[in-house]
């Protein structure tokens, strides 16, 4: 009997519905080619949820996500809701908290065919293959906030336990990859970073002595990422630093529209989404790059459903489509979102299902 998988779809705002439609069609193609069965439940999140339900994260959305095997999200936010009493981004922060998602994985692999599209020289970015582990539930985003007419404050708090669990996840990945982990902090100034550095160092020494650990201050890391990105493999950092550095790193590949992500936790479902935002200026015009969403769907297959071969096929298909010239305007191409999706689908249908075209990481 064919096993079915439940996937909650959260298209969200702006270009979110467009790119998630393409990602779903790719997943449906995988299902058709492999005999898998995906059952979808589409729910509201973000600005559209405010408009239709009065809340950026309705209870029905939370319950659907908790009952799913994996969650695929498009994007949230837009200037329409900038002055709204409730912000769309609260929906994203809320679902991460509701699902207990503490590890945000953002891989970056520069496609050979796109090396010349990077704002950096080909010889700098060619061969870059790294992954950022960003802590997702602590730090300044979740700390107490206050504001008056004269001042504002955002509290940054980290516990030892929060640091330990994301550190272990990153160390495991580094052990399966190159054996090197780079931890990024601001320990010369911030007490939370001093606790971060002490905790990461202890976990490394006690549990992963075979992994080579280095510590780099976040301002220096921002420089090194554009100067010598091939020097890094697995990068571990806290919430805000990871948010900033991963957006910076995404441009090494030529466009933030290429970048996928996975947010994972304990035993519950993971959340998978492209790194790009809602891009309201191009929403509804078939101009968005769907690759980030499609590669997020590949991460959903790999980490969310345990379907590594199917994930391989999607990643190979994306590489093939890009190499053949299927590109949106952000990559210098002339195709629309749906046309690039169609090109990827054709490649999926042609793709073999190898046991693994590169070393795979295992979550947990």
Q: Residues 148-207: pLDDT tens digits?
A: 999 999 999 999 999 999 999 999 999 999 999 999 999 999 999 999 999 999 999 999
13 included as an active-site residue: no
CB 202 within 8 A of CB 208: no
186 included as an active-site residue: yes
- The answer, yes or no, to whether residue 257 has pLDDT greater than 90, is yes
Q: What is the pLDDT of residue 302?
A: 95
- The answer, yes or no, to whether residue 250 has pLDDT greater than 90, is no
Residue among 141, 175, 286, 342 flagged as catalytic:
141
Token digits of residue 239 = 């919430």
Q: What is the pLDDT of residue 355?
A: 46
Residue among 116, 160, 219, 281 flagged as catalytic:
219
154 included as an active-site residue: no
Token digits of residue 225 = 């990422």
Alpha helices in the chain (DSSP H): 16-34, 47-53, 59-67, 89-98, 122-125, 160-176, 191-207, 218-227, 239-250, 291-299, 308-323, 337-350
- What average pLDDT does range 213-220 have in this prediction? 98
Q: What is the pLDDT of residue 330?
A: 94
Question: 């493999």: which residue's tokens?
Answer: 233
pLDDT tier for residue 353 given thresholds of 50, 70 and 90: low
Q: Spell 168-181 as b/e; 16+ CB within 10 A means b.
A: bbbbbbbbebbeeb
d(C-alpha 126, C-alpha 347), whole Å: 23
Q: What is the DSSP string of 44-113?
A: --THHHHHHHSSSS-HHHHHHHHHSSEEEEEE---GGGTTSSS-THHHHHHHHHHTT--EEEEEEE--GG
185 included as an active-site residue: no
Q: What is the pLDDT of residue 153?
A: 97
- The answer, yes or no, to whether residue 141 has pLDDT greater than 80, is yes
243 included as an active-site residue: yes
d(C-alpha 228, C-alpha 119), whole Å: 14
d(C-alpha 294, C-alpha 316), whole Å: 12
**At residue 55, what are phi and psi to the nearest 5 degrees?**
-150, 135
3-state secondary structure of 307: coil
- Averaged confidence pLDDT in the chain: 93
Residue among 13, 243, 312, 330 flagged as catalytic:
243
Query: Among residues of the chain, what percentage have pLDDT more than 90?
Result: 87
- The answer, yes or no, to whether residue 237 has pLDDT greater than 50, is yes
pLDDT tier for residue 266 given thresholds of 50, 70 and 90: confident
Q: What is the pLDDT of residue 113?
A: 86
Question: 């516990």: which residue's tokens?
Answer: 159
pLDDT tier for residue 356 given thresholds of 50, 70 and 90: very low
pLDDT tier for residue 84 given thresholds of 50, 70 and 90: confident
Q: For 104-117, write each residue's pLDDT tens digit.
A: 999 999 988 888 88
- The answer, yes or no, to whether residue 129 has pLDDT greater than 50, is yes
Q: What is the pLDDT of residue 358?
A: 47
Residue among 13, 69, 185, 186 flagged as catalytic:
186
Q: What is the pLDDT of residue 357?
A: 46
Q: What is the pLDDT of residue 359?
A: 41
Q: What is the pLDDT of residue 112?
A: 84
Question: 């994985």: which residue's tokens?
Answer: 105
Residue among 28, 154, 175, 247 flagged as catalytic:
247
Q: For 44-75, write each residue's pLDDT tens digit.
A: 999 999 999 999 999 999 999 999 999 999 99
- The answer, yes or no, to whether residue 319 has pLDDT greater than 60, is yes
């Amino acid at each position: 009997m064919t096993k079915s998988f439940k996937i909650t779809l959260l298209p969200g705002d702006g270009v979110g519905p467009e790119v998630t439609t393409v990602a779903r069609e790719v997943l449906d193609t995988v299902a058709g080619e492999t005999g898998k069965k995906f059952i979808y439940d589409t729910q509201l999140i973000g600005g559209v949820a405010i408009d239709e339900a009065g809340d950026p994260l309705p209870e029905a959305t939370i319950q659907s996500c908790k009952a799913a095997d994996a969650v695929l999200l498009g994007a949230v936010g837009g200037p329409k809701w900038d002055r709204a009493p409730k912000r769309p981004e609260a929906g994203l922060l809320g679902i991460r908290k509701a699902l207990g998602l503490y590890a945000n994985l953002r891989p970056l692999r520069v496609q050979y065919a796109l090396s010349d599209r990077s704002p950096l020289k080909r010889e700098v970015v060619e061969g870059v293959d790294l992954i950022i582990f960003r802590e997702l539930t602590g730090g300044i985003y979740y700390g107490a906030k206050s504001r008056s007419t004269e001042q504002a404050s955002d509290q940054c708090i980290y516990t030892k336990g929060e640091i330990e669990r994301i550190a272990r996840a990153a160390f495991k990945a580094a052990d399966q990859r190159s054996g090197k982990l780079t931890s990024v902090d601001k320990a010369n100034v911030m007490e939370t970073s001093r606790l971060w550095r002490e905790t990461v160092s202890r976990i490394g020494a006690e549990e992963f002595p075979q992994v080579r650990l280095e510590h780099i201050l976040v301002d220096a890391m921002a420089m090194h990422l554009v100067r010598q990105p091939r020097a890094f493999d697995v990068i571990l950092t806290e919430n805000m630093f990871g948010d900033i550095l991963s957006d910076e790193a995404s441009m090494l590949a030529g466009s933030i529209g290429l970048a996928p992500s996975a947010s994972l936790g304990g035993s519950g479902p993971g959340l998978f989404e492209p790194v790009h935002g809602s891009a309201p200026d191009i929403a509804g015009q078939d101009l968005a790059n769907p690759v980030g969403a499609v590669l997020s769907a590949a991460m959903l297959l790999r980490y969310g459903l345990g379907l590594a071969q199917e994930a391989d096929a999607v990643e190979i298909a994306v590489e093939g489509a890009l190499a053949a010239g299927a590109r949106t305007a952000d990559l210098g191409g002339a195709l629309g979102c749906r046309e690039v999706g169609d090109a990827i689908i054709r490649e999926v249908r042609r793709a073999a299902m190898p046991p693994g075209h590169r070393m795979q990481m295992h979550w947990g």
